[in-house]
A and B are shown apart, each in its own frame.
Chain A
Amino acid sequence: MKTPVSSISTTAQESLRDSIAREKKQDRRAGALSASVTFGWRALLKIKHVPEQLFDVTAFPIIFLLMFTYLFGGAIAGSTGDYLQFLLPGILVMTVTMITMYTGMDLNKDIVKGVFDRFRTLPIWRPALLVGALAVDMVRYSMAAFIMISLGLLLGFRPEGGTVGVLAAVALLLVFSFSFSWIWTALGIMMRSEKSLMMISMMFLFPLTFVSNVFVDPATLPSWLHGFVEWNPISLLVTAIRGLMHGSASIEDIGWVLLVSMLLTAVFAPLTMYLFRHKR
Chain B
Amino acid sequence: MKRQEVNSPIAIEAKGLVKRFGTNAAVDGVDLSIPKGSVYGFLGPNGAGKTTTIRILATLLEPSSGSASILGLDLKRDAHHIRGKISLTGQFASVDEDLTGLENLVMVARLLGFSWKEAKKRAMELLTAFGLKEAARQQVKNYSGGMRRRLDVAASIVVAPEILFLDEPTTGLDPRSRNQVWDIIRTLAESGTTVLLTTQYLDEADQLAERIAVIDEGKIIAEGTSRELKASVGAGALSIQFSDEGSRIKGERLIKQRLPAVLQSQPDAASLTVRTSHANEGITVLDILAQAGIEVIDFSFGNPTLDEVFLALTGEAAGDKNKKEGIK
Using a CB–CB cutoff of 8 Å, the interface residues on chain A facing chain B are 1-2, 4-8, 12-13, 15-31, 34-35, 38, 41-42, 45-46, 49-50, 110, 113-115, 117-124, 278-280
Q: Can you list 13 A-B pairs, Cβ within 8 angstroms, ordered by A? A: A7-B180, A16-B130, A22-B125, A28-B112, A28-B114, A46-B98, A120-B60, A121-B58, A121-B83, A121-B88, A123-B80, A123-B83, A123-B112
Given the known interface contacts A13-B187, A42-B107, A121-B58, the answer about A30 and B112 at a Cβ–Cβ threshold of 8 Å is yes
Are B93 and A38 in contact, CB atoms less than 8 angstroms apart? no
Known: A17-B187, A49-B99. 8 other contacts (CB 8 A): A1-B208, A27-B84, A42-B103, A110-B96, A113-B93, A114-B91, A115-B94, A123-B81
Assess whether B179 is interfacial by the CB under 8 Å rule: yes
CB distance from B34 to the nearest CB of A (A): 15
How many angstroms between the C-alpha atoms of A46 and B156 in the bound complex? 22
CB distance from A177 to the nearest CB of B (A): 23
Are A121 and B59 in contact, CB atoms less than 8 angstroms apart? yes
Q: B131's contact among A8, A31, A49, A113, by CB below 8 Å, is which?
A: A8
Are A28 and B191 in contact, CB atoms less than 8 angstroms apart? no
How many angstroms between the C-alpha atoms of A110 and B73 in the bound complex? 29
Are A19 and B129 in contact, CB atoms less than 8 angstroms apart? yes
Are B188 and A46 in contact, CB atoms less than 8 angstroms apart? no
Give chain B interface residues in 110-128, CB to chain A under 8 Å: 110-114, 122, 125-126, 128
Given the known interface contacts A1-B210, A121-B86, the answer about A45 and B159 at a Cβ–Cβ threshold of 8 Å is no
Are A15 and B128 in contact, CB atoms less than 8 angstroms apart? yes
CB distance from A189 to the nearest CB of B (A): 13
Q: A7's contact among B129, B155, B179, by CB below 8 Å, is which?
A: B179
Given the known interface contacts A12-B129, A121-B88, the answer about A30 and B110 at a Cβ–Cβ threshold of 8 Å is yes
Given the known interface contacts A8-B183, A23-B158, A123-B83, the answer about A30 and B191 at a Cβ–Cβ threshold of 8 Å is no
Give chain B interface residues in 168-205, CB to chain A under 8 Å: 176, 179-180, 182-184, 186-191, 193
Assess whether B16 is interfacial by the CB under 8 Å rule: no
Residue in chain A with minimal CB distance to B179 = A7
How many angstroms between the C-alpha atoms of A18 and B95 in the bound complex? 23
Are B183 and A29 in contact, CB atoms less than 8 angstroms apart? no
Are A6 and B183 in contact, CB atoms less than 8 angstroms apart? yes
Q: A46's contact among B91, B99, B207, by CB below 8 Å, is which?
A: B99
Are B111 and A122 in contact, CB atoms less than 8 angstroms apart? yes
How many angstroms between the C-alpha atoms of A38 and B111 in the bound complex? 7
Chain B contacts for A29, CB-based, 8 A: 84, 111-113
Assess whether B295 is interfacial by the CB under 8 Å rule: no
CB distance from A194 to the nearest CB of B (A): 14
CB distance from A130 to the nearest CB of B (A): 14
CB distance from B5 to the nearest CB of A (A): 9
CB distance from A246 to the nearest CB of B (A): 41
Chain A contacts for B186, CB-based, 8 A: 1, 4
How many angstroms between the C-alpha atoms of A30 and B90 in the bound complex? 22
Are B122 and A23 in contact, CB atoms less than 8 angstroms apart? yes
Q: 4 tightest CB-CB pairs across the interface, nearest first?
A: A7-B179, A118-B94, A123-B84, A114-B92
How many angstroms between the C-alpha atoms of A115 and B103 in the bound complex? 14
Chain A contacts for B136, CB-based, 8 A: none
Assess whether B67 is interfacial by the CB under 8 Å rule: no
Residue in chain B with minimal CB distance to A129 = B111
Chain B contacts for A49, CB-based, 8 A: 98-100, 139
CB distance from A113 to the nearest CB of B (A): 6
How many angstroms between the C-alpha atoms of A114 and B95 in the bound complex? 7
Are A115 and B180 in contact, CB atoms less than 8 angstroms apart? no
Chain A contacts for B208, CB-based, 8 A: 1-2
How many angstroms between the C-alpha atoms of A204 and B50 in the bound complex? 38
Are A21 and B97 in contact, CB atoms less than 8 angstroms apart? no
Residue in chain B with minimal CB distance to A53 = B98
Given the known interface contacts A7-B176, A45-B103, A123-B80, the answer about A20 and B191 at a Cβ–Cβ threshold of 8 Å is yes
CB distance from A158 to the nearest CB of B (A): 42
Residue in chain B with minimal CB distance to A2 = B207
Residue with the highest number of chain B CB atoms closer than 10 Å, among A110, A113, A114, A119: A114
Chain A contacts for B279, CB-based, 8 A: none
CB distance from A106 to the nearest CB of B (A): 10
Assess whether B2 is interfacial by the CB under 8 Å rule: yes
Q: A114's contact among B39, B94, B157, B159, by CB below 8 Å, is which?
A: B94
Chain A contacts for B100, CB-based, 8 A: 49
Are A42 and B96 in contact, CB atoms less than 8 angstroms apart? yes
Given the known interface contacts A25-B85, A123-B84, the answer about A35 and B111 at a Cβ–Cβ threshold of 8 Å is yes
